[in-house]
Amino acid sequence: FAFVIAKSSKMLAETEAASNQFRSEAHSLGHYMVSCNLPMEMRRRIQQFHHYCYYNNRHQHEDNIQNILSKGMRAEIALHCHLEALRNVKIFMGAPLDFFE
């Protein structure tokens, strides 16, 4: 009986730790998206992806907030943040938007 109680307590503690990790990542992700001045639609999609990863046990301890994002989302954020600078580079001037995607 004590073994079952101990195992249950350990599982509950691990669940609580994972939940705290998720909330911490969500908070950091929110700050990151605000600092990048991402559009609301992109923020919504990133939050949905984060929730998807968590609920499918893909939420591992991450060193960098971008590690929880897919490669495509990281590229989309980079494009959003740096598109104007790229358009000011002489060889990219006048290039269509799909060139950068």
99 vs 14, residue with greater confidence: 99
CA geometry: angle at 61 spanning 56 and 64, to 5°? 110
- Mutual angle of helices 71-87 and 40-55, in 10-degree steps: 160
With a CB cutoff of 8 Å and minimum separation 6, the contacts of 28 are: 65
Q: How far apart are CA 46 and CA 29, in angstroms?
A: 9
Q: What is the pLDDT of residues 49-96, one digit of tens each?
A: 888 877 776 545 444 566 777 888 888 888 888 888 877 778 777 778
pLDDT of 61 reads 46
Is pLDDT above 50 for 9? yes
Q: How far apart are CA 13 and CA 83, in angstroms?
A: 44
With 0.75 as the threshold, say if the pTM is over it.
no
